[in-house]
Amino acid sequence: MALIELEDVARTFTIRAKVGRLRRERREVRAVDGLSFTVEAGECVGYIGPNGAGKSTTIKMLTGILVPSAGRLRVAGVDPARERTRLARRIGVVFGQRTTLWWDLPLRDSYDLARRIYRIPDARYRANLDRCVELLELGPLLDTPVRQLSLGQRMRGDLAAALLHDPQVLYLDEPTIGLDVVSKVRVREFLREINTVAGTTVLLTTHDLTDIEQLCGRVMVIDHGRMVYDGGLDGLHATGRSERTLVVDLAGPSAPIEVPGARVVKVDGARQWLAFPAEDSAAPIVAAVAAGYPLLDLSVREPAIEDVIARMYAKVPIG
Amino acid sequence: MAEYLVENGSSVRPERPLEPESLLEPESLLEPQGRLERLRWALRSWQLSAAMWTRAAMAYRTSFVLMLGANIMITSLDFVVVILMFQHTDRLGGWTLPELGLLYGTSAFALGMADLLVGSVDALGERIRAGTLDVMLIRPAPALSQVCAERFTLRRLGRPAQATVVLLWSVSALRVDWSWDKVLLLAALLVSGTVIFGALFVGGATLQFWWGEAKELQNSFTYGGATLLHYPPTVFAKELVAGVTFGVPLAFVNWLPLLHILGKPDPLGLPAAFQFASPLAAALSVLVAALAWRAGLRAYRGAGN
Ligand SMILES: Nc1ncnc2c1ncn2[C@@H]1O[C@H](COP(=O)(O)OP(=O)(O)OP(=O)(O)O)[C@@H](O)[C@H]1O
Ligand SMILES: [Mg+2]
């Protein structure tokens, strides 16, 4: 059974902008424009796209915060906008940009409120809290007021708060924003654990593609509210028509190498860079170079996912 | 039970099965069912939220007693104005000072209690802009309960406390035969009045879903309306009195029921039933406010980001 189902979902915003001194103009922004996808229980899905693509809007519809303008949504068997509080017991939400914790109170108090509001049975609550405290190293922070926590500590606190009630789905909207490398690694490790061990379905929005590479088996790319890619990370390279690079060290400077299936993109003394389609095999190209040129050393560089996605965004016509 | 392969190749048993049925408890135990249960849950949510805010406020050690005192002083000025007026006359619109005390006491008590319980809803626009409403909407508690309890502080007891003093004084100073119907009516009007002001707070704040600056308008109906009710209906134009009877139901807070208690004629000459209709007016106000709130939530556009 699909845990998350969207069918032709759209959300428009009407914006009133001042034009000239008195005239006001109404303009419609299609933040989400005919989106359909399903997510199965246990998946970890990366949800990416450029600024303003409609990621946050989608997540808000999936939590019931926003009512869709059109289309059908179901999460854990519930229509989010219609039965928001019922859904709330089945989902966990983390907004990187804002906290669900109580600013002036110790971390522990926020968790205790969650226990009451989600009506978590005591034994379950203690087990979940212990596990989160251990995995996220929250022990020393439990009695600290939230306003005194660093951004990374607070994010860990927020993650725990979203998981105490054993949600079936965890939505994360930019959970690693503003975190340093160490904190990012810790958050990722935790999310992996939650997804693989506890089996929680994860939908993750981020601008840090390392998050996706390390966590998600599946990526959805949206732009202008429309899905432009949905599939595995490797498939993304093919779709993005990405290229791998063969770096060749010759015995001495030479004219640009000419071999079938690759083209020289850069020459620097005895070193040359050859680009070829990512889905092609490197072997015949290497063989051709070795046969025709005094080859000393070589290496193959994988395409950077950033480049692939940047190229993908650029291809989408502005609509 | 299924097993899952983890990075290092070892397999780990999931701590709980994957099926969506794997909820903690049967759904029926978790989600409040039925109207009464939901209402109780809404009140309980308010209470939980208010308790958190009370504790949060204690983080800043401003003296509670000092602030409560200041609060009482400031709101008392309203009635001092009335007393000063009576230095030059012993009647205002045909009403004596103790009678005005009853008007003032009931109006200020109802407003003060409504303000204490739901008054924070008027900061809805700020909550929307700051994005805290989004956070409330992802919790399994009614958003309205959470918004109303926000920044809850017992300091706001100042106004109702002070109103109670004036009320007790005027009841003792008045020469009214307190028959059971009048006692009951006084109790009913205090409750109904609180509910009517509460509905005005909520209904007015709901406008902020569409129009960010609606707070001023709402305040003119709540705080402004309460000041209006400090004075007898006879000093105002008939059109205004009709407006707060049939439009914004302020007249049901104290004017109409007090006509019966004090045995005064109705300036509008309405049927006597109006003097007992405060609970009905309160129920209608709640209905309208609740519908408005629902429409507001559906129109909610999010904080952006
Ligand atoms: N409350 C709102 N009122 C008007 N327009 C809005 C509102 N919320 C979002 N939008 C618009 O909808 C579009 C999608 O916004 P959204 O926040 O979903 O993007 P996003 O993919 O999350 O972007 P980012 O990566 O910057 O977080 C944008 O054009 C944005 O301006
Ligand atoms: Mg966003």
Rounded (10°) CA dihedral A271, A276, A281, A286? -30
Domain check: are A74 and A106 in the same one? yes
Burial track B135-146 (b if 16+ CB lie within 10 A, e otherwise): bbbbbbbbbbbb
Beta bridge partners of A223: A226
Residue of A11, A14, A29 best suited for mutating to test ligand 1, as the one with most atoms within 8 Å of CB:
A29
Q: Which residue, among B248, B257, B85, has the nearest Cα to B93 in the 3D structure? A: B85
Nearest-Cα distance to chain B for A303, in Å, is 24
Predicted local distance difference test score (pLDDT) of residue A56: 94
Residue B139 in contact with partner chain A when CB distance is under 8 A: yes
Nearest alpha carbon, ligand 1 atom 25 = A51
CA distance B70 to A103: 27
Residue A124 in contact with partner chain B when CB distance is under 8 A: yes
Domain check: are A134 and A257 in the same one? no
> From residue B34, how far is each of B28, B37, B38, B40 by CA, in Å?
11, 5, 6, 10
Nearest-Cα distance to chain B for A199, in Å, is 6
Interface touch B134/A76, C-beta < 8 Å: no
**A93 in a structural domain:** yes
Indicate whether residue A153 lines ligand 1 (CB < 6 A): no
Burial class (CB in 10 A: 0-12, 13-18, 19+), B225: buried
Quick one: tokens of A312? 């993908």
Question: Tell me: the pLDDT tens digits for A164-194?
Answer: 999 999 999 999 988 889 989 999 999 999 9
Residue B6 in contact with partner chain A when CB distance is under 8 A: yes
Q: Is the dihedral of CA B265, B266, B267, B268 positive or negative?
A: negative
Predicted local distance difference test score (pLDDT) of residue A227: 93
Residue B42 in contact with partner chain A when CB distance is under 8 A: no
Domain check: are A130 and A234 in the same one? yes
**CA A149 to chain centroid:** 25
Which of A17-21, A29-33, A219-223 is the least confident region?
A17-21
Domain check: are A94 and A107 in the same one? yes
Domain check: are A178 and A254 in the same one? no
Q: Are strands A169-173 and A271-277 parallel, antiparallel or unpaired?
A: unpaired
**A34 in a structural domain:** yes
Indicate whether residue A54 lines ligand 1 (CB < 6 A): yes
Q: What is the pTM of this model?
A: 0.84
Q: What are phi and psi of A169, to 5 degrees?
A: -125, 140
Task: Please check the confidence at residue A209 and state whether its pLDDT lies above 90.
Answer: no
CA distance B223 to B192: 17
User: What percent of the residues of chain B are helix, what percent strand, and what percent coil, each to the nearest 5?
Assistant: 70, 0, 30
Domain check: are A170 and A234 in the same one? yes
CA distance A230 to B261: 72
Predicted local distance difference test score (pLDDT) of residue B305: 55
Burial class (CB in 10 A: 0-12, 13-18, 19+), A46: buried
CA distance A87 to B106: 42
Nearest alpha carbon, ligand 1 atom 16 = A54
Question: Tell me: the pLDDT tens digits for A136-164?
Answer: 999 999 999 999 999 999 999 999 999 99
Predicted local distance difference test score (pLDDT) of residue A1: 67
Residue pointed to by tokens 């700051």: B130
Question: Tell me: the pLDDT tens digits for A280-307?
Answer: 888 999 999 988 899 899 998 877 777 7
Which residues, given as ranges, of chain B have pLDDT below 70? Answer: 1-30, 60-62, 304-305
CB A11, CB A68: distance < 8 Å: yes
Closest ligand 1 atom to Cα of A174: 27
Nearest-Cα distance to chain B for A128, in Å, is 11
Interface touch A109/B52, C-beta < 8 Å: yes
Chain B residues closer than 8 Å to A198 by CB: 14-16
Range 73-132 of B in CB contact (< 8 A) with A: 131-132
Report the CATH number at residue A148.
Answer: 3.40.50.300
**A67 in a structural domain:** yes
CA distance B267 to B253: 16
Q: What is the DSSP letter of A138?
A: -
Interface touch A99/B135, C-beta < 8 Å: yes
| Structural domains in chain A (count) | 2
Closest in B48, B59, B298 to A113, CB measured: B48
Contacts of residue A50, defined as CB under 8 A and 6 or more positions apart, other chains included, come to A223, A313
Interface touch B135/A120, C-beta < 8 Å: no
Predicted local distance difference test score (pLDDT) of residue B2: 39
> From residue B15, how far is each of A16, A196, A281, B2, B18 by CA, in Å?
51, 10, 42, 10, 9
Domain check: are A28 and A109 in the same one? yes
CB A6, CB A226: distance < 8 Å: no
Domain check: are A165 and A84 in the same one? yes
* End-to-end C-alpha distance for chain A, whole angstroms: 34
Nearest-Cα distance to chain B for A19, in Å, is 19
Indicate whether residue B212 lines ligand 1 (CB < 6 A): no
Please, which residues have CB less than 5 A from ligand 2, an ion? A 56
Q: What are phi and psi of A83, to 5 degrees?
A: -125, 60
Interface touch B48/A88, C-beta < 8 Å: no
Predicted local distance difference test score (pLDDT) of residue B27: 54
CA distance A96 to A155: 7
Closest in B16, B138, B305 to A88, CB measured: B138
Domain check: are A151 and A190 in the same one? yes
CB B78, CB B175: distance < 8 Å: no
Closest ligand 1 atom to Cα of A222: 21
Write down which residue in A238, A258, A284 finishes a domain: A238
Among chain B residues, CA nearest to A201: B18
Domain check: are A14 and A79 in the same one? yes
Contacts of residue A149, defined as CB under 8 A and 6 or more positions apart, other chains included, come to A107, A141, A157
Predicted local distance difference test score (pLDDT) of residue A316: 52
Nearest alpha carbon, ligand 1 atom 18 = A54
Indicate whether residue A13 lines ligand 1 (CB < 6 A): yes
Contacts of residue A13, defined as CB under 8 A and 6 or more positions apart, other chains included, come to A28, A29, A31, B301
**Phi-psi bin for B94: left (phi > 0), alpha (psi -120 to 50), beta?**
left
Angle of helix A181-196 relative to helix A151-163, nearest 10 degrees? 10
Tell me the H-state helices in B119-157: 124-130, 132-137, 143-149
Q: What is the mean pLDDT of residues A22-32?
A: 86
Chain B residues closer than 8 Å to A172 by CB: none
Quick one: tokens of B270? 């309405």
Predicted local distance difference test score (pLDDT) of residue B138: 94
Closest in A117, A120, A197 to B15, CB measured: A197
Domain check: are A270 and A286 in the same one? yes
Domain check: are A213 and A256 in the same one? no
Percentage above 70 pLDDT, chain A = 96
Quick one: tokens of B208? 């902020």
Owning domain of residue A133: 2-238
User: What percent of the residues of chain A are helix, what percent strand, and what percent coil, each to the nearest 5?
Assistant: 35, 30, 35
Percentage above 90 pLDDT, chain A = 59
Contacts of residue B188, defined as CB under 8 A and 6 or more positions apart, other chains included, come to B257, B278, B279
Angle of helix A107-117 relative to helix A122-136, nearest 10 degrees? 150
CB A207, CB A48: distance < 8 Å: yes
B144 vs A317, higher pLDDT: B144
Task: Please check the confidence at residue A240 and state whether its pLDDT lies above 70.
Answer: no
Contacts of residue B182, defined as CB under 8 A and 6 or more positions apart, other chains included, come to B176, B260, B261
Question: Tell me: the pLDDT tens digits for B94-129?
Answer: 899 999 999 999 999 999 999 999 999 989 998 898
DSSP assignment of B5-31: E-TTS-EE--SS--STT--SS-HHHHS
**A73 in a structural domain:** yes
Question: Tell me: the pLDDT tens digits for A38-74?
Answer: 999 999 999 999 889 999 999 999 999 999 999 999 9
CA distance A152 to A177: 9
